[in-house]
Structures are given as structure tokens and as C-alpha cells.
């Protein structure tokens, strides 16, 4: 199976001198095409920093990130092989959606990075209408603004925005943790369905072991900036090898725990 993403010895430091903080330490893992790979750990362990490195928001201090065999970072510059091929759904839809923009403009904004002919094709009214309906919203809602929607609806808008460019790889950074318990399952099921329909590859970042078990084929456990265990999700849940993983499993919440960071 094709390796979609390869992370080799990636490290990330912030600050200088005595103020330096090592957020990520020599992390290595790979994600295969068509799978959902989970990255789990408590707040501050470095998992979201890794997500930012992969999508181009933060350069790595050391190591390399390869996407389909080609480096994503060269000399602190992010190299877009194909605009729109890697997308992200952020944790909090309230802060990730511009309140001054209509839903139509929010969803279509990523198309601005594409060549004109591709932008026209992927931004067609028919395609936009099909997408907004597929994520569970209505065409007439395209002219509204984010504050007119619930948290779950806003996250559906964020998912549509990520999918408008027809990506192959999507980073899901705690996509349900800011949502009410009652709608978390709906959004997770939608993400599963979309993955199957579009043959997507996911990096799923979470602090919730039960969500990782529900969503992910393979997983890696992060602790203080390092990966302490990785493997097939079912195997790790059956027999964890690291004490930190065991502690996470021992306090396993219900599948859709109370919202939190």
C-alpha cells in the first residue's frame, strides 16, 4: 500500500537559549493511503504542533516530512506539490470560521489557491450545492453567516470547506472536542462516510482514546513531545506496551466524552 505521508525524525523547538521549549522530539511515523491514523496524547504533548507542521503552518526545527515521497519543507519554506491536496479541519469551528464571511465565501475560499480552470470546475454551483447537502446542510443556508449556526453545523461547514478542493489527505485536529456530546457522534459518522466515499486519508488528532478506537486503523501515542507507542489500534487496545498508554486506557471515557481541550 502506498505511503501517503512519512514523518522522519521531526523535531520542533520554540524560543532561544534558556527560554527554549522542545515541543516535538524526533518523531517518526508513516500514514498509508486510505487509512485513518490516530495521534493521541494529553494537551501540550505536541500532537497539534505536528499537525501544523504537516499542513504548512509551522516549519520543523529538524527532520523531514514527505508527502507521496516529496519533501513538504525545504529551508523553512513549505512546498505545495498540488494546492488543495492537503486540508485541515480545526478543533473549534467558532474561531476557525470568519464571522464576516458568508458560508458560501467560507467554503469557496480554499479554491483561490487553485489554477483558474480548476477553480471554476471545483467551484461550480452544482458541485457546491451537492457538497453542502452532503454534509447535512441546506443550499439556502449558503448566504448566511457563521453566528446563525450551531456548533455542529459550523463544524459541518468547516468540513465542506476542507473538501471543496477535492483533497486526498485531511488533518482532523480534535474535530469534535469543542462540540456538545449529542452531536459528536453525528460528525464522526459523517467523517467516516466521507472517507469511504472519497477514498480519503486522515490524520486524526485527539485526546480521547475512545474516539481514536472508533475512528482509526493505526495509532501513535504521544507523551511530552515523543511517540512512546504506535501500531494497529486494535492491538494497542488489547495489549498496550507503554505505561502511559496503559494509564490512558485505564481512564477510558465513554465514546463521546464531555467537551474539553
Tens of pLDDT, residues 112-154 = 999 999 999 999 999 999 999 999 999 999 999 999 999 999 9
pLDDT digits (tens, 9 = 90+) for 171-181: 999 998 878 87
Helix, strand, coil: what percent of the chain each, to 5? 40, 25, 35
Residues 6+ apart with CB under 8 A from 141: 103, 132, 149
Using the 8-state DSSP alphabet, how is residue 55 labeled?
A: H
The pLDDT score that the predictor gives to residue 261 is 39
- Is the separation of the CB atoms in 46 and 221 below 8 Å? no
- Is the separation of the CB atoms in 225 and 191 below 8 Å? no
212 domain-assigned: yes
Beta-ladder partners of 6 = 30, 66
Taking residues 105-118, report their average pLDDT: 94
CA separation for the pair 140, 102 (Å, rounded): 12
C-alpha closest to that of 85 among 194, 143, 150, 4 = 4
CA separation for the pair 247, 258 (Å, rounded): 19
97 domain-assigned: yes
Grid cell listed for 125: 454551483
Domain hosting residue 159, numbered range: 3-250
Q: Provide the pLDDT confidence category of residue 96 given band limits of 50, 70 and 90.
A: confident
258 domain-assigned: no
pLDDT digits (tens, 9 = 90+) for 226-239: 999 999 999 999 98
Query: Model pTM?
Result: 0.92
255 domain-assigned: no
How many structural domains are present in the chain? Answer: 1
Q: Provide the pLDDT confidence category of residue 253 given band limits of 50, 70 and 90.
A: low
148 domain-assigned: yes
**Whether residue 94 has pLDDT greater than 90:** no
Burial category of 254 from C-beta neighbours within 10 Å (exposed 0-12, middle 13-18, buried 19 and up)? exposed
CA separation for the pair 165, 128 (Å, rounded): 11
Neighbours of 97 (CB within 10 A): 22
What are the phi and psi torsion angles at 75 (to 5°)? 50, 50
208 domain-assigned: yes
Grid cell listed for 218: 493505526
pLDDT digits (tens, 9 = 90+) for 14-72: 988 788 899 999 999 999 999 999 999 988 899 999 999 999 999 999 999 999 999 99
Beta-ladder partners of 89 = 172
Q: What CATH code is carried by the domain that includes residue 242? A: 3.40.50.300
125 domain-assigned: yes
pLDDT digits (tens, 9 = 90+) for 180-226: 877 899 999 999 999 999 999 999 999 888 899 999 999 999 999 99
Using the 8-state DSSP alphabet, how is residue 17 labeled?
A: G
Amino acid at each position: 500500500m502506498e505511503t501517503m505521508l512519512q514523518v522522519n525524525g521531526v523535531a520542533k523547538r520554540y524560543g532561544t537559549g534558556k527560554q527554549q521549549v522542545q515541543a516535538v522530539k524526533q518523531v517518526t511515523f508513516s500514514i498509508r493511503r486510505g487509512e485513518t491514523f490516530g495521534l493521541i496524547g494529553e494537551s501540550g504533548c505536541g500532537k497539534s504542533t505536528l499537525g501544523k507542521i504537516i499542513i504548512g503552518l509551522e516549519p520543523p526545527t529538524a527532520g523531514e516530512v514527505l508527502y507521496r515521497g516529496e519533501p513538504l519543507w525545504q529551508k523553512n519554506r513549505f512546498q505545495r506539490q498540488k494546492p488543495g491536496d492537503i486540508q485541515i479541519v480545526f478543533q473549534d469551528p467558532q474561531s476557525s470560521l470568519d464571522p464576516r464571511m458568508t458560508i458560501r465565501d467560507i467554503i469557496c475560499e480554499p479554491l483561490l489557491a487553485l489554477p483558474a480552470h480548476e477553480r471554476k470546475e471545483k467551484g461550480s454551483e452544482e458541485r457546491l450545492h451537492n457538497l453542502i447537502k452532503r454534509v447535512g446542510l441546506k443550499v439556502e443556508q449558503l448566504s448566511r453567516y457563521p453566528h446563525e449556526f450551531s456548533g455542529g453545523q459550523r463544524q459541518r461547514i468547516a468540513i465542506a470547506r476542507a473538501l471543496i478542493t477535492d483533497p486526498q489527505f485531511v488533518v482532523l485536529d480534535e474535530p469534535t472536542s469543542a462540540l456538545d456530546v449529542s452531536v459528536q457522534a453525528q460528525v464522526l459518522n459523517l467523517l467516516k462516510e466521507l472517507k469511504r466515499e472519497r477514498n480519503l486519508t486522515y490524520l486524526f488528532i485527539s485526546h480521547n482514546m475512545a474516539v481514536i478506537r472508533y475512528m482509526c486503523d493505526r495509532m501513535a501515542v504521544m507523551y511530552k513531545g515523543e511517540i512512546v507507542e504506535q501500531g494497529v489500534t486494535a492491538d494497542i487496545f488489547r495489549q498496550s506496551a507503554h505505561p502511559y498508554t496503559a494509564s490512558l486506557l485505564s481512564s477510558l471515557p465513554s465514546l463521546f466524552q464531555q467537551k474539553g481541550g
